[in-house]
Amino acid sequence: MLTLPQEFVQRMNRQLGDEAEAFFTAIEQPSPTSIRLHHLKGKSSFTYKSSVPWCQNGRYLESRPLFYLDPHWHGGAYYVQEASSMILDAVISQLQLDESPRIWLDVCAAPGGKTGILAKHLGTSDVLLANEVIGQRRTILRENLVKAGYLNVMISGEQASSFHEPFADIILIDAPCAGEGMMRKEPEAIRQWTPSLVQSCSLLQKQIVSDSVLALKNDGYLIYSTCSYSMDENLQNISSFIDKHELVSVPMSFPEEWRIVTIRENETYGYQLYPHRVEGEGLFIAVLRKTSSDDPGYKKVKKPFNLFEVIPDHLASHLSNP
């Protein structure tokens, strides 16, 4: 039986009300095993229990095999991925993207599971930049992306603050979080959890978004996700992003049978997957769109500056010493 932090139990009781008992029962059960087949070369050696409803290439397995014994795994024909995180596939499908070339940026890309979902949606002229600032994690990211062989995907290791020019049409920030959705399969997630960890993660998430949003072009999409349940890291953060960065919340629509919870406050929308409602772990996801009409061609600088243009010929004759 899991021994959960008392503050976490109290908060989830307040948050879920009548559903709290079902939630705590669910996280006592073994975690389901799922894989996502590569969209171009998907194959495995396993018999599937069922499909992941929100991901075209997602599959549940009856049990967890020794993946390193399967040559398809070594060849990148599938990726072992928690089912809840595959909701990104359904989210991107709702953005109704046209055929225009786009630049995609995955800010916190390691280990590469969600990067693979982004890669599935790339157009032939699109480019995806998978960024991971931590060197050890970037090594794992590189290994997974090389095995998959995705087209038009590059890797970088920059701080989020390095992306200070608007170049990206779609940004994914799968933010570092308190890891509450990992509690039933990783005991370390329970041991390290404290209310102060939640607060420090919330502050870090705000900083990453504040830095990264500068890279988002006008009318571009920012997709934000965490594997936590806390409002501090999720909906309250989304509200602060909207207030601070000229973003608007983009509502999503999911079939009722998927049992995804819509969390709404005024015109702010977020979507939570809970382990007692879905066959998967915890995940929060929200979509924002940049609405600023500022001209991205001009930098904001502390000192005023002048822009000079050559006087047109038809005006030059009317001016002295132009």
- Complete domains list, the chain, with CATH: 84-290 (3.40.50.150)
State the pLDDT at residue 317.
75
pLDDT in tens, 236-284: 999 999 999 989 999 999 999 999 999 999 999 999 999 999 999 989 9
Q: Note the pLDDT tens digit of each residue in 10-46.
A: 999 999 999 999 999 999 999 999 999 999 999 998 9
pLDDT at 276: 97
What does the pLDDT read at residue 305? 43
pTM of the predicted model as reported, rounded to 2 decimal places? 0.89
Nearest of 21, 72, 85, 56 to residue 260 by alpha carbon: 85
**Residue 2 pLDDT level (bands cut at 50, 70, 90):** confident
Average pLDDT over residues 134-157: 96
Q: What is the mean pLDDT of residues 103-117?
A: 98
Sign, CA torsion 79/254/251/233: negative
| Residue 79, Ramachandran bin (φ over 0: left; ψ between -120 and 50: alpha; else beta) | beta
Instruction: Report pLDDT digits (tens) over 172-184.
Output: 999 999 999 999 9
Is the per-residue pLDDT at 293 higher than 70? no
Mean pLDDT in residue range 144-148: 97
Q: Tell me, what's the pLDDT at 312?
A: 72
Q: Is pLDDT at 166 greater than 50 in this prediction?
A: yes
- Cα–Cα distances in angstroms (integers) from residue 303 to residues 264, 299, 300, 306, in the given order: 41, 11, 9, 10
Do 39 and 61 form a contact (C-beta atoms < 8 A)? no
310, pLDDT greater than 90: no
Active site residues: 227
Residue 304 has a pLDDT of 44
Question: What is the pLDDT, as a whole number, of residue 231?
Answer: 97
pLDDT exceeds cutoff 90 at 291: no
pLDDT, mean of residues 186-206: 96
Provide the pLDDT confidence category of residue 205 given band limits of 50, 70 and 90.
very high
Q: How confident is the model at residue 320 (pLDDT cuts 50, 70, 90)?
A: confident
